Amino acid sequence: MRILCVGSGARAEYLAAALIEANHSVSSVERVVDAAYLVAVEHIDAAIVLCAGEATDAARAMVARPVHTVLVIIDAPGNQDARIEALYAGADACFTGDYEYAELEARLHALWRDGAQVDADMLVPVASSSSLAGGPVLSRTKRSLIGADGTELPLTRREYLLMECLLRNAGSVVQRDELIGYVFGDAEADGVSLQRLVSALRRRIVESAWGLRLVTMPRVGYRVVLDMQDASEPYSGDSRKRTAVENSP
């Protein structure tokens, strides 16, 4: 999931670190007004706002967010009336300042699963699931790609985020800038960083012989497709041109 952490100080730093450790793509801003802008122009799965008594104001500020963006508010005082008011104002969930991270993580996935209709662990392509039917799936808990035969390909955190973003848009082209933001978050990165990551993962996926391909769309981005051709059969004809595109920057 791509998550926007809203707040400052030690609480926000702890939350961002915990989310990153759980294999999420995390970006951070300090002000709710900045968060409201970002969710309007970028694809954010969830926004988590840390506040101290302004839960209702935060919920109202984020009420115009896209329907796919889950809003969770963590209010330090966290009295019951304030939490209820924030929920009525538009928050999807509201926690007190002494929340347990495990419960927050579970609630996030429950809310997202209800909206996106995907499993909390095995993520299949959301946008066009039929295009990769029978192909490998992505396991969040194992941080691996798992083939139909049960074999696993362990992934680094950034490889996992790359595949998560591509699989959610299976068959469609994902823009370079969107991938850079999703995979690298607030870290310094550019198209070259993304290209190196894709190239390294592409080689490993080819060795798996699953027929899964990371295709480069020159000057645009990348997409993931499943080649239903028998992996043991050599490509012919235009396949040479296709291979050149797949391996291009």
- Residues 41-82: tens digit of each pLDDT: 888 989 999 998 889 999 999 988 988 899 999 998 778 898
Alpha carbon separation from 28 to 11, 173, 194 (Å, rounded):
12, 26, 21
The three-class DSSP label of residue 173 is coil
Fold observed for domain 122-246: Arc Repressor Mutant, subunit A (1.10.10)
Identical fold between 2-116 and 122-246: no
For the beta sheet containing 144-146, the strands, ordered from the edge strand earlier in sequence to the opposite edge, are: 122-123, 137-139, 144-146, 152-154
Band of residue 3 on the pLDDT scale cut at 50, 70, 90: very high
Question: How many angstroms separate the CA atoms of 118 and 104, rounded?
Answer: 18
pLDDT given at position 92: 92
The answer to whether residues 123 and 138 touch, using CB atoms and an 8 Å cutoff, is yes
* In the predicted structure, residue 118 carries a pLDDT above the cut 80: no
**What class has domain 2-116?**
alpha beta
Which sequence spans correspond to the domains of the chain?
Answer: 2-116, 122-246
β-bridge mates for residue 74, sequence order: 50, 95
Angle at 126 between CA 202 and CA 128, to 5 degrees: 80
The rounded mean pLDDT for the chain is: 81
pTM reported for the whole predicted model: 0.65
* In the predicted structure, residue 229 carries a pLDDT above the cut 90: no
CB atoms closer than 10 angstroms to residue 65: 19
The answer to whether residues 51 and 75 touch, using CB atoms and an 8 Å cutoff, is yes
pLDDT given at position 121: 47
* In the predicted structure, residue 248 carries a pLDDT above the cut 70: no
The answer to whether residues 73 and 56 touch, using CB atoms and an 8 Å cutoff, is no
- Residues 120-174: tens digit of each pLDDT: 444 443 333 334 566 778 887 778 888 877 888 888 888 998 998 898 887 789 9
